[in-house]
Chain A
Amino acid sequence: MDFMTHHLLSLILFLPVLAALVVFCLPSENLKAIRWTAFAISLVPLALSIILWMQFKSAQPGFQFTEQYDWYPAIHSSFHLGVDGLSLTMVLLTTLLTPLALLASFNISDRLKAYMLLFLFLETGMLGVFMALDLLIFFVFWEIGLVPMYFLINQWGSEKGERELWKGVKVQARNYASLKFILYTMGGSLGLLLAIQMLGMLFRTFDLQTLYLKWAALPAGFPMFHFFSAVLTAATVKTIAFWAFVVAFAIKVPVWPFHTWLPDAHTEAPTAGSMILAGVLLKLGAYGFLRLVLPFYPVESQHFAGALAFLAVMSIIFGAFASYGQKDFKRLVAYSSVNHMGFVLLGIAAAARVGISTTDAALNLSKNIALNGAVLQMFNHGLSAAGMFFLVGVIYERTHTRNLDDYGGLFPLVPIYGGILIFTSMASLGLPGLNGFISEFLVVRGAWPVLTVYTAIAMLGLLFTGAYILKGIKQVLHGPLNEKWAHGEHKLTEISQREIAVMAPLMALILVIGVYPAWILDVINKAMIMLFH
């Protein structure tokens, strides 16, 4: 027991790898054993994260459950883990969504073993980012997570469609999408990598807490680099490094105009892959903003908060419009992620604009509300986006089409599915009583006094959010029935019990947070106060 409390984080982090080893040893023909083993073991990290949540003392400042081991002493990097309220929330989201995604993958039988292995590795990669207290370890996990996702998309993605790579070279759409995904993210991380190298070279440490202090304390006029006669001062370098960080994370979030990889990746990914992609991977970007950008660059982020808010608003508006314009159900949901994640960035931008040094109590309160909203929105979007992608997958599996025009009037055929779809859509739309309303309200309330104009425009975006979600529901469930699905070989079957089991925890949480958000906001709020005051 003592061992467990002292190594709780590494246990959670490495259990999926252990599960992968177990799965690897199973015979590849025994699909059932592989499915259930992977699913069952992935419940253990979830159970441990719930214990983590219980044992976490939200009033205690700083990181908890820290562990530190030597990793690469020659370059002063250590394997340093720890969680605060922010990362704890994300850890819980990850360990919750992974078993659900595995459960959602029970219909996969093509090279199932490899698929499960990749998924479990992916979980470790994502958890590592949230737990890392060492910048280099953060980056290690940040990049490692790309690999399983790349293969999940291009091996198990949808087999239809072709895209032009360049100059008439045509490739399968899933290959195009997966390559775009990994190159966008790796290319975007290049600036981050360079900035991390620079920090490591300057301060001879990658420890986050040390870097927070040292990097922020560097005087603006300090001459850092020379190129022949030109001198780069710390202020210039910080500005460049700030944008390097921002681009890396903005691509992941994704923020307009860096979002174009997302619809492709989502559309081509297998259902469970989309669930994790939208549910957790996008959060990595937002987490990067909160964990690294704001603490590392308080001055720069305050200075460029307007630009961030502009990007956020563009994401909200364009995301909503683009979503409305889609004919493909999955693309519609994919663009809705751009729209929803825009609110996260808006909250972050508002907090950045207020900055850390102000003593104005009202502004500080707004900042805190905005941050709370942003983090809760990350969690909420994780729930509702994963649910929406799963529901798209459910109907796609039955109809083999995602074209909205091919559906129509399905509600009477599949009442339970219809009900679940409407419920989840409403959460995504921001219906009061469900979780999306709480977080979006908090963001808007927090951002309003700080970035009034941007927030006002963003709220117009909220209107279109309603429009595209209702459009989706209408096209699928209402209107004249497409007779094709009513009879014969294409007769639509109702959502299965396994599929309901995937949705049930998500729906329960959506409702619980919508009705009683205090249990989670309490943890988030205290973490935000400690981090940004």
Chain B
Amino acid sequence: MHFPILSVIVFTPITASLLIFLYKPEQKKAVRITALAAAAFALTLSTIVYALYRRDVGGYQFLEEYRWMPFLGISLKFGVDGMSAPLVLLTGVVMLTGVMISWGVDDRPREFFGFLFILASGVFGVFASLDLFMLFFFYEIAVFPMYLLISIWGWIKTREYAAMKLTLYLFIGSVIALVGALAMYWQSGMHTFDMLQLEHANFSPGFQRLWFPFVFLGFAVLGGLFPFHNWSPDGHVAAPTAVSMFHAGVLMKLGAFAALRVGIMLLPEGARDWHWWVMGLALVNIVYGAFIASVQTDFKYVIGFSSVSHMGLVMMGFATLTREGLLGAGVQMFSHGIMTALFFAAVGMVYDRAHTRDIPKLGGMVKPLPVVAVGMIIGSLVSMGMPGFSGFVAEFPIFLGIWKTQWLVAVIAAISIVVTASYVLLVVRRVFFGTMPAELEGHIRPTGRLDTIALVLLCALMVGLGLVPSLMVPWVQTGVQHVLTLLGGAG
């Protein structure tokens, strides 16, 4: 029996959360230190999992299985493959940096970190689960604390609306997906929720065609697929900084990942039948999201809609069902997670100081906040797919995949690159350069050391992956190989 590293990762945050709730509300420092320690521990373990994952062997590794409800065929089964290992790492990174930049949260930090860590456990759980039931279980755990986090600590103007909207969207999505999952359970006749077995259930083409949209779209709501993306910008904007980071950085990947794992991998025939529809929707995401982002005047909405556009690329990569497309989508999930976490962290730091996110009312932030400005610039370069940064490493293969499927889609999707470049450059310039409005002069305190460390860590990951793609690509490749096998070896 080896060390149950995945269960330790999954349960570390929730254990920390329980510990945190044991403190008295006024023991704020102890709460923060516990949170930081737990996050650092989780990140260390996720890095170990990532580093020790054997790419030459591939498949699911670090397997663990515990009986949970044997008579229903439900067990607590963990394992990661090349697709999920980077996402586990991503969650660790976002968790740690999220705690670092939330150091200043002064309004009930005990509850804040407590709920945040319940959410983190849910996210780790989804990425590591190999049991369909457990995947749903953790999925709901990840979604629910979001409601509290947004409605209590969120932006006062829209938090209740946004929290309600987000929770309803996601619950409805997951219920629809759950119906599909149950259909799979009954249809397979195997009396198991074990996804490794369900992969070989050989559902009939008719069944797959019928249920694929339910399962895929149900999860894709969380992935921000058009026209179900509407909750996401509102949710991002209303959420407090660390929650936005989690939300856009990790939770949207949760949706995309579950759509891949449950939708495409368990119902490959269905995916083949429907992939044109998904491509169409994802194309709308990519192009329309970029245009909407370009007309926003609220700094945070710009980032929110840019996430919609970038997650469209992930969905597009999936929908091509090609080796390159899936590879790019896998890398894009990580790259976008890091990038958008950085964006929201930067927006949060500016907002905390300027108390406004209205772009025309900002300016000249580079002087007091140089690190934030550099981070934001690097993030922008990633988001416009500039070569040498992780965004390019992710987007290029996605486009190769699109070319393989339908050239016209590639041509249309490419428009988004220029649109994205124009709005991110404009926003960065208007917020960070130019002259600072007089009323802000002298009110912008410099960033703390933890903020700086968090930003540098995120930037280093994006640049490192951009310069040396093989830091991640071989992992994702093994994951893609498995998906392609399920799809019938094509691609």
Q: Which residues of chain A have a CB within 8 Å of any CB of chain B?
A: 70-75, 136, 139-141, 143-144, 147, 150, 154-155, 172, 175, 179, 182-183, 186-187, 190, 193-194, 197-198, 200-201, 225, 227
Contact = CB atoms under 8 A, between A and B. Distances in A.
Interface string B248-289: 000000000000000000000000000000000000000000
Interface in B380-409: 381, 384, 386-388, 392-393, 396-397, 399-400, 403-404, 406-408
A72 B393 contact: yes
B204 interface: no
B421 A75 contact: no
A68 B150 CA distance: 51
17 contacts: A72-B473, A73-B473, A74-B324, A74-B473, A140-B388, A143-B387, A143-B388, A179-B422, A183-B421, A186-B421, A187-B418, A190-B417, A193-B414, A197-B400, A201-B404, A225-B407, A227-B406
A182 B404 contact: no
Contacts of A190: 414-415, 417-418
A74 B469 contact: yes
Contacts of A194: 399, 410-411, 414
B436 to A, nearest CB: 15
A74 B410 contact: no
Contacts of A175: 429, 434
B426 interface: yes
B335 to A, nearest CB: 14
Contacts of A201: 324, 400, 403-404
B381 A72 contact: no
B477 interface: yes
Nearest to A193: B414
A205 to B, nearest CB: 12
A75 B407 contact: no
A75 B386 CA distance: 17
B470 interface: yes
Contacts of B400: 75, 197, 200-201
Contacts of A200: 400
Contacts of B477: 74
B327 A74 contact: yes
B433 interface: yes
Contacts of A183: 418, 421-422
B388 A144 contact: yes
B491 to A, nearest CB: 12
B425 interface: yes
A73 B468 CA distance: 11
B371 to A, nearest CB: 13
Nearest to B474: A74
A198 B403 contact: yes
A227 B474 CA distance: 34
Contacts of A154: 429, 433
A10 to B, nearest CB: 14
Nearest to B387: A140
Nearest to B469: A72
Given A143-B387, A186-B418, A190-B417, A197 B396 contact: yes
A140 B389 CA distance: 10
Contacts of A147: 381, 386
A183 B415 CA distance: 12
A150 B425 contact: yes
Contact of A73 (B393, B406, B408, B470): B470
Most B-side CB within 10 Å, residue of A150, A175, A200, A201: A201
Contacts of B388: 140, 143-144
Closest 9 interchain pairs by CB?
A140-B387, A201-B403, A72-B469, A197-B399, A187-B418, A74-B473, A143-B387, A225-B407, A144-B388
A414 to B, nearest CB: 36
B407 A198 contact: yes
Contact of A144 (B386, B411, B425, B429): B386
Interface of B: 324, 327, 381, 384, 386-388, 392-393, 396-397, 399-400, 403-404, 406-408, 410-411, 414-415, 417-418, 421-422, 425-426, 429, 433-434, 469-470, 473-474, 477
A187 B470 CA distance: 29
> Which DSSP category, helix, strand, loop or mixed, fits chain B's interface?
helix
B387 A70 contact: no
A181 B229 CA distance: 33
Contacts of A198: 403, 407, 410
Contacts of A71: 469
Contacts of A144: 386-388
A70 B470 contact: yes
A179 B434 contact: no
A459 to B, nearest CB: 38
A172 B433 CA distance: 11
A179 B474 CA distance: 37
A155 B387 contact: no
A225 B418 CA distance: 25
A251 to B, nearest CB: 13
Contacts of A197: 396, 399-400, 403, 410
Contacts of A140: 387-388, 392
A139 B411 contact: no
A74 B392 CA distance: 14
Given A72-B470, A190-B414, A190-B415, 7 more contacts: A71-B469, A74-B397, A74-B477, A75-B324, A147-B381, A179-B422, A183-B422
Nearest to B477: A74
Nearest to A142: B387
Contacts of B399: 193-194, 197
Contacts of B426: 179
A75 B396 contact: yes
Nearest to A137: B387
B405 to A, nearest CB: 10
Nearest to A237: B407
A200 B434 CA distance: 41
A193 B386 CA distance: 11
A194 B410 CA distance: 8
A75 B429 contact: no
A198 B9 CA distance: 42
Nearest to B413: A194
Contacts of A187: 418
Contacts of A193: 399, 414, 417
A66 B393 CA distance: 24
A179 B392 CA distance: 21
Contacts of B421: 182-183, 186
B457 to A, nearest CB: 18
Contacts of A141: 387
A198 B429 CA distance: 34
A140 B390 CA distance: 12
A175 B397 CA distance: 33
Contacts of B425: 150, 179, 182
Nearest to B331: A74
Q: Which of A70, A136, A143 has the most CB of B within 10 A?
A: A143
Nearest to A73: B470
Contacts of B404: 201
A438 B26 CA distance: 82
Nearest to A190: B414
Contacts of B433: 154-155
A231 to B, nearest CB: 12
A315 to B, nearest CB: 24
Contacts of B407: 198, 225, 227
Residue with the greatest number of chain B CB neighbours at <10 A, chosen from A74, A172, A198, A225:
A74
Contacts of B387: 139-141, 143-144
A126 B386 CA distance: 15
Contacts of B422: 179, 183
Nearest to A139: B387
A85 B417 CA distance: 35
A100 to B, nearest CB: 26
B290 to A, nearest CB: 13
A533 B425 CA distance: 44
A187 B421 CA distance: 9
A222 to B, nearest CB: 15
Nearest to B476: A74
